[in-house]
């Protein structure tokens, strides 16, 4: 992040998580919240993407996340759209689309908007 600022990057986009909060009791959401706060502290225009559960293959083995990836799609139609799992590929597509069309500034893009903008 500091390298972006030092090299006068015009905009910075990154993936965080739905529910990120540096005051959270949970490690993951707390870490994501701290990262967001660090980026904000750089005063660099950014777009933070806050998807819900990311679906897709990964190198790391996370047992709980793998179980969620198997179970969540079954219940997804019954869930509010902001909690529905989303594929990492759709998040990447939305990042490209939004970075081309959104004015520079401080933007938070939540799961529902990520789904809309991935088309």
pLDDT by residue, tens only, the chain of 119 residues: 678 778 888 778 899 999 999 999 999 999 999 999 998 888 788 899 999 988 877 777 777 777 877 787 788 888 887 788 899 999 999 999 888 887 778 889 998 889 888 87
In a domain, 83, yes or no: yes
In a domain, 31, yes or no: yes
28/57 Cα distance (integer angstroms): 19
In a domain, 73, yes or no: yes
**Residue whose pair of structure tokens reads 């777009």 in the numeric block:** 47
Tokens describing residue 25:
């009791």
CATH classification at residue 55: 3.40.50.720
| Nearest alpha-carbon partner for 97 in 111, 81, 83, 113 | 113
Tokens describing residue 86:
């989303």
Q: Show the DSSP H helices in 7-110 as ranges.
A: 27-41, 63-75, 88-101
Strand partners, 82: none
Contacts 24+ apart (CB under 8 A), 84-87: 84/52, 84/111, 84/115, 85/52, 85/53, 85/54, 85/55, 86/51, 86/52, 86/53, 86/54, 86/55, 86/111, 86/114, 86/115, 87/54, 87/55, 87/56
In a domain, 119, yes or no: no
Number of domains in the chain: 1
For 84, residues 6+ apart whose C-beta sits below 8 A from its C-beta are: 52, 72, 76, 111, 115
């Amino acid at each position: 992040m500091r390298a972006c600022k030092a090299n006068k990057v015009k905009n910075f986009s990154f993936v965080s998580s739905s529910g990120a909060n540096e005051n959270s009791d949970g490690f993951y959401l707390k870490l994501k919240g701290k990262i967001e706060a660090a980026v904000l502290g750089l005063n660099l225009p950014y777009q933070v993407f806050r998807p819900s559960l990311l679906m897709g293959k990964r190198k790391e083995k996370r047992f709980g996340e793998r179980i969620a990836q198997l179970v969540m799609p079954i219940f997804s139609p019954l869930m509010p759209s902001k909690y529905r799992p989303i594929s990492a590929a759709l998040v990447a597509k939305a990042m490209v689309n939004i970075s081309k069309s959104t004015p520079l500034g401080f933007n938070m893009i939540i799961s529902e908007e990520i789904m809309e903008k991935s088309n």
